Amino acid sequence: MRRSCRLLFLLLVGLFAGASAYGQTTDFSSLARQFSSYQQKAVPEKLFLHLDRPLYLSGETMWFKAYTVDGTHNRPLAMSSVAYVEVLDARNTPVLQTKIALAQATGYGSFLLPASMPSGTYQVRAYTSWMKNFGAESFYQQAVTVVNTFTTAGAQAAKDSVAYDVQFYPEGGNLVAGLSSKVAFKAVNAAGQGVVVEGRVLNQQNKPVATFRTLRHGMGSFMLTPEAGATYKAIVTVRNGPTISRDLPRAFPQGVVMRLERTASRQLTIAVQSTQKQPEAVFLLAHARQQVVVAAQSQLINGQATFTVDAQQLLPGVSHFTVFGANQQPLCERLFFQPPPPPLAITAVADQQAYPTRGNVRIAVATPGATDSRANLSMAVYRLDSLSAKTGPDIHSYLQLTADLRGRVEHPEYYLQSTAPDLPEATDNLMLTQGWSRFKWEQALAAIPPVFTYLPELHGPVVEGRVLHPVSGQPVAGITTYLSSPSLIVRLNNAVSDAKGRVRFEMNDLYGPRDLIMQTNPAQDSTCRLEILPAFASQYTPAFPMAAAPALRLQPSYAARHLQAQLQTQYFGKYRNRYTPLRPDSAAFYGSPDETYLLDKYTRFKVMEEVMREYVPGVIVRIRKDGFHFLVIDKVNQTVLDENPMVLLDGVPVFNINKIMAMNPLSIRKLDVIDARYFHGSAIYDGVVSFSTYKGDLEGFKLDPRVLVQQYEGLQAQREFYAPRYETAEAWQSRLPDLRNLLYWNPAITTTGPTASTVDFFTGDQPGRYLVVVQGLASTGQAGSTSFVLEVKGAL
């Protein structure tokens, strides 16, 4: 793992290329303004996913809730209306994918895990379209375990010739000959978990020049002053493991290094050293999640400069410190963590200390710390056993820490809650080894504003496509393209291809699997090739290791869970696919038509020409050499429009009117007419004539062979969580076994300060301990979680 900013240090060569930089002055305030301007255009967005459990059986349902926030202050950000959620296997291959609707910065959905899904560790990731501009590192990612109890339980251990890995990270980015640097390291096993190591750094003569050992979670640090032209290697001994050798990063002959130290409880000192001994201006920029908080200038005197920063100036969480040279090129960068304020206080109190089987549980949930704001919460209640002992990530540590770092952070709660004396040093090691930026400085400081490939989806899913030359495959610009989906609800979108041939269609209320139809008007284009682009991201972080096969001692637990799951499927499986009814806008895209004809109210004719001539006076039928044409009468202006109107069949454009006229009129239920010019996006129609069939399925109408028809998965409908309720004697005496592992899932709990919201549910037939987990976010940006254990003790 190497921080992306490290590549920027190649710019150092230009700093020392000659005396041209000497004595230059720069308006460093413009640097901060440029970066602030970039931040306003590149609004950072974060997404957190609350999963109901850390472990699932194949065939069970995974429930989740998404929270989206602005990446600077962690306040709810209602910018994106769609979240993309995927389950990836160990090779980064998507196993399951879905899109969920976001409203007021939250949304929820579910996955029904296939019964054939192999056992193993999977990665659940979630993101928005806007987040795709900043790489897969910005996506939310969480590891979950899936166990297939129909086969040999557990995943096979992945074969890996390198069981351990050790990486070294010089503070600021690079080692420079003759300049003392702090070097952090991270040692992990094949599963990516930190391991305890100790070691020595040897020079080319195999003489030790430094020693080191881990402090926390596989990380530590040491000081090193490299000599010119020398190379170094580390001999690392893993506790109860092998001894391995790793080369340290090479030292540059010239350059700049930085060192950050806490000189007092509130003061930070950033010392800058350079091999350049002539006076040189340097600039320090500190930003937290792209908001500038410190901008200061100093002078290198004899290759040294010092900055002092009050830590209270920094925003809570992760801040970036970047040192720039006189030509505004970045020279060094490192991260610093400012402890955030306490999380959102959430109280969840059950009405009893213990419950019988099939007993009624009432839990009062409140957020006493959010007295002036509302909080949006989600709750899961699942059985604790040897398989589900661990809990998932919490929203507070993710938003304040994990989301701004690269890779997996072990025990993030330690860095926010611990009072151990080694906490500052351990936190510093984490900042040095897992640094990452959501942007590139050359993009942020470019004279031309950045152009982002992916736009935020403000009002529903955006379907992207391309218009290409049929032979060369090169993009074709300026082509009006139409996208529709056959339906009882008439929807039509149009877009003009840009210089890259891309077209974008904003699709409201696009739910479930649909046939999308993309086409052009043959009068404008009859040859271009069309394609619909994948909606899900093709960017991935490095693949993660598979979990080792479970221990034999867990086999009884797998067998018990298998029986429970099969009984639940047998007796309650019919409730798994119940969905909340959708209430889409039933109005056509053109609103209320000027004329509507329900053909069943008229005498039915055998041919469409008679229908149009007899019942639709607002449309004139003409026959020319190439066949039928429609001309709409503009009643307002008392004129006849010149061209064919936009003719639709179940919302699909039909440019060959002969095909419409050849249809059986008995298949048409309704006909709408817009009897004036209609402005629709970038297109202008000489009226609209819309035919609707009884089922909205085109009634076997044959589309032009050039038309692109593609199956497309729209937004996920809301699956309803089902749990039995034992409110009557008859229900309580039911002989159907209730062996639920997940007692309760509720993604839509709201509170206002200390005023409690009460939720209630019933226990099942399994005594045991059940973990109640509540997570959520206040409108002020405070995030928090709480958990406690319910005892179910059988009949009381």
Residue 359 lies in a domain: no
pLDDT at 94 over 80: yes
Same domain? For 522 and 612 the reply is: no
* Gap between the Cα atoms of 303 and 272, Å rounded: 8
Domain count, the chain: 5
- 410 and 543, same domain (yes or no): yes
Q: Is residue 706 part of a domain?
A: no
639 and 524 co-located in one domain: no
Using the predicted structure, report yes or no on whether residue 149 has a pLDDT greater than 70.
yes
Closest by CA position to 315, among listed 647, 495, 26, 72: 72
Per-residue pLDDT at 162: 56
pLDDT of 602 > 70? The answer is: yes
Q: Which tens digits make up the pLDDT trace of 681-732? A: 989 999 999 999 999 999 999 999 999 999 999 999 999 999 999 999 999 9
613's tokens: 């001539």
Is residue 86 domain-shared with residue 28, that is, in the same domain?
Answer: no
Q: Would you place residue 41 in the very low, low, confident or very high pLDDT band (cuts 50, 70, 90)?
A: confident
Nearest to 112 by CA among 738, 720, 781: 720
User: Is it the case that residue 527 has pLDDT exceeding 60?
Assistant: yes
CA dist., res. 617 & res. 620, Å (int): 7
What percent of the chain has a predicted confidence (pLDDT) above 90?
A: 72
Residues 6+ apart with CB under 8 A from 40: none
CATH number at residue 274: 2.60.40.2450
Establish if 300 belongs to a structural domain: yes
Domain identity same for 428 and 545:
yes
Which pair of tokens denotes residue 665?
């009129």
Q: Which domain CATH number covers 399?
A: 2.60.40.1930
The amino acid that residue 251 corresponds to is: A
Assign 438 a pLDDT band (cuts: 50, 70, 90): confident
For residues 123 and 212, membership in a common domain is answered with no
Nearest-angstrom CA–CA distance, 235 and 244: 6
Amino acid at the residue 273 = Q
Q: What confidence tens digit (pLDDT) does each residue in 292-309 have?
A: 889 999 999 999 999 999
Domain identity same for 268 and 222: no
User: Which pLDDT does position 12 carry in this prediction?
Assistant: 35
Q: Letter for the amino acid at 532?
A: I
Whether residues 430 and 543 share a domain: the answer is: yes
Mean pLDDT of 618-631: 94
Q: Are residues 435 and 545 in the same domain?
A: yes
Average pLDDT, the chain: 89
C-alpha 673/C-alpha 245 separation (Å) is 78
Q: Where in the sequence is the domain holding 418, given as residue range(s)?
A: 43-151+390-457+539-549
What is the mean pLDDT of the segment spanning 118-140? 94
| CATH code of 621's domain | 2.170.130
589 domain-assigned: no
Q: Say if residue 545 is in the same domain as residue 402.
A: yes
CA distances from 39 to 32, 71, 558, 713 (A): 10, 11, 50, 33
Q: What is the pLDDT of residues 504-522, one digit of tens each?
A: 999 888 999 999 999 999 9
Q: Are residues 544 and 427 in the same domain?
A: yes
> Within a domain: residue 582?
no
Instruction: Say if residue 293 is in the same domain as residue 147.
Output: no
pLDDT for res 21: 33
Q: How confident is the model at residue 549 (pLDDT cuts 50, 70, 90)?
A: very low
